Structures are given as C-alpha cells and as structure tokens.
Amino acid sequence: MTERLEAGGNADAFEQLMHAHERQVLGTALHMLGRLEDAQDAAQEVFVRLHRNMRKLDSADAVRRWLYRVTVNVCRDMLRKRHDTSALVEMAAPEAGPERLAEEAQRSRAVAQALRQLPEKERAALVLREIEGLSTREVAEILGSSEVTVRSQICSARMKLRRLTQEFLGKKV
C-alpha cells in the first residue's frame, strides 16, 4: 500500500484506502454527529481530503491516524456550523429483534441520546477511546491534547454518559 501511495496515489490505491477505512471514518462521524446524512457528508469531505493528501502519508498507520484526526476536525466544524441541535438523536441504534432483549435496545437508544449531550471534546475523546478502541496516547495525539487532559475528558464523559443514560432510562441517579 505504501509503495502504491508513493507511486503517485493512483485511483486503485485510493479505492483500497476508502474501502479499508470507510467503517472507521463513517462510524466515527456517525457517533460524533448522530445523524447518518451528516456523517455521510463528513465522510465524503474526509475522503476528498485524503485524495488530495495521500501522497504525504507514508504508511498505513499514518493514514489511519490522519483519518481519525481529519474526521474529528470535520465533524467539529460541522457541529459548529449546525445551529439546530434538536434533531441530534437520529443515530441508528439497533432495533430490538427477537434475539435482543428490549432492555438492551432501550439502553442503546438512551446511550446514543446521552452521547449527543456531551460536550464536543469529551464526545470526541470518548468515541475514539471507547468505540474505536484507541489508546489514551493515540487519542491525545489525534485531538492535539495532552494525555492527562484526554484522561480527564474521558472520565468526565463516562460519568456524564452514565448519568444521562440513567435519566433517559428513567432510573434513579
């Protein structure tokens, strides 16, 4: 992959990169933005930027980290531009199928709703750490913060997420 990128970023290499990272980009954007249409817009912007910058990225890991960083930045820009925050709870939580308990599906929706209530930076830190499974150091690099700050943001985000989820589920906090 790296050699192909160095060779000049041809269309095949770009297609491969898109396929390899679309879950990462679209998933992160969906968790950040909470609406599939917005997440698609963000993912499109991220991949267009990747197309312009792929020659500068010299390894698969560099591409992965670069994509996380750009995805978070694009989502932040979109969140700042978005004035209407009322329709932020459209994130597609899984439907309660026969194999799933209704309580779990309810929790998924409540958690998705709670995630939307978190401050932008805490949400980004939590998404990268909890959902994408990055280390605190990686999250700090991507967000341009210190590890201490990120740890604090993640801690705060988890506590708030728990409290809000309980509120949405109608439990005592």
Partner 1 sequence: MTCAEWQERIAAEEIDAGVRAHLASCGDCAEFVRELEANAAALREVTVPAAAYAAVRARVRAEVRRPRRRWIWAWVCAGAAAVIAALVLLATPRRAQLPLPDVAYAATPPHVIVPQTPVRVVRHRHTKRLAPRRELARAEQPMTIKLQTDDPDVVIYWIVDGKGEAL
Residues that bind partner 1 (CB under 8 A): 14, 18-19, 22-23, 26-27, 30-31, 36, 39-40, 43-44, 47-48, 51, 91-94, 104, 107-108, 110-112, 114-115, 127, 130-131, 136, 151-152, 154-156, 158-159, 161-162, 165
- Number of helices (H), then strands (E), in the chain: 8, 0
Shorter beta-carbon distance to partner 1: residue 78 or 83: 78
Shorter beta-carbon distance to partner 1: residue 52 or 82: 52
Shorter beta-carbon distance to partner 1: residue 2 or 152: 152
Q: Up-side HSE of residue 51: CA atoms within 13 Å toward CB?
A: 12
Q: Which of 157, 93, 163 is nearest to 126 (CA)?
A: 157
Ramachandran bin of 118, using left for φ above 0, alpha for ψ from -120 to 50, beta for the remaining angles: beta
Shorter beta-carbon distance to partner 1: residue 40 or 117: 40
Shorter beta-carbon distance to partner 1: residue 145 or 156: 156
Contact predicate 66/24, CB 8 Å? no
The least CB distance from residue 93 to partner 1, in Å, is: 6
Reported residue count of the chain is 173
The least CB distance from residue 168 to partner 1, in Å, is: 11
The least CB distance from residue 18 to partner 1, in Å, is: 6
The letter for the amino acid at 109 is R
The least CB distance from residue 143 to partner 1, in Å, is: 16
Q: How far apart are CA 149 and CA 102, in angstroms?
A: 37
- The number of beta carbons lying within 10 Å of the beta carbon of residue 118 is 20
The least CB distance from residue 98 to partner 1, in Å, is: 16
